[in-house]
Amino acid sequence: MRSWKCQHAQKYFKQRAELYDVKYVPKGAEELSRIMIQKAEIKEGDFVLDFATGTGFQAVQIAYAVGKKGRVLGLDISDAMLREAEIKIKRLGLDNVIKLKRAQSENIPLEDNSVDAIICGFAYHHFPDPYRVTAEMFRVLKPDRKAVAVDGCRPEYPFKKLVADLSAKVSDRTWRIRFYTEKEFSEFFEGSGFAEVHTWCFYQTHCLLYPFVMIEGTKPPA
């Protein structure tokens, strides 16, 4: 299962990479990014992991927050998305702050307790094993620091769930992605060892069929 989901994700993003920022970045993304950075308590000089960086939209926002003394590592499974990110980062003169690397979601190429914060935007529905991915985030995060993720949220109510599922399948056209409920996101984080786990489910005006969920968790002291 993990293999075909990875292959699907690579094909999915290769087809969309060039126009991703224009067609797929949500309205209000900059404000949403600001909120995620704030909740992750990212500050100047931090080393931040932007997990599933895509075209680097979030990485750029993080770079402005950490400043010239900070570092951002953007990881993604898609070469096509990373090429778009590299072009953007060089154009903005941020290549001394942001580094990019291709990596599988379940194997983060970092040492234990090595990053000050983790941001993950709109990627969980592509992960083959969200529990294992969250456990990897927990492993590389420093104690007393935070991970924040946002993604589409599968509603709990049966009718809304049916409508949302159909909407997701029509937009993807492969029936291979899966969104998770707010409760499931809490289980991913709490089951991986995160403490002070909080979730928020919300709608945006351009997407009233499918809500979003934001989740944050803190790695307890060693």
pTM, two decimal places: 0.83
Which of 155, 153, 143 lies closest to 194 in space, CA to CA? Answer: 143
| Other Cβ atoms closer than 10 A to 5 | 17
Q: What's 105's DSSP letter?
A: T
Beta bridge partners of 72: 48, 98
- Give every CB contact of residue 52 below 8 A, 6+ residues apart in sequence: 75, 76, 77, 105, 120, 121, 122, 123, 126
Q: pLDDT at position 153, please?
A: 86
- Give every CB contact of residue 90 below 8 A, 6+ residues apart in sequence: none
Q: pLDDT at position 96, please?
A: 97
Domain 2-218, CATH: 3.40.50.150
Q: pLDDT at position 23, please?
A: 41
Put the strands of the sheet holding 141-152 in their side by side order.
Answer: 98-102, 71-76, 47-51, 115-121, 141-152, 207-218, 195-204
Whether 217 and 40 have beta carbons less than 8 Å apart is answered as no
| Neighbouring C-alpha atoms within 13 Å toward the C-beta of 197 | 18
Q: Output the tens digit of pLDDT for each of the chain's 222 residues.
A: 455 445 555 555 444 544 444 444 555 678 888 999 999 999 999 999 999 998 899 999 999 999 999 999 999 998 888 999 999 999 999 999 999 999 988 899 999 999 999 999 989 988 989 999 999 999 999 999 999 999 988 877 666 667 666 666 666 555 567 889 999 999 999 999 999 999 998 876 555 567 889 999 999 998
Q: How far is CA 216 from the centre of its chain?
A: 12
Dist. CA 74–CA 67, nearest whole Å: 16
Q: pLDDT at position 159, please?
A: 60
Q: Where are the domains of the chain?
A: 2-218
- One-letter amino acid of 96: N
Beta bridge partners of 152: 212
Length of the chain equals 222
Dist. CA 22–CA 208, nearest whole Å: 20
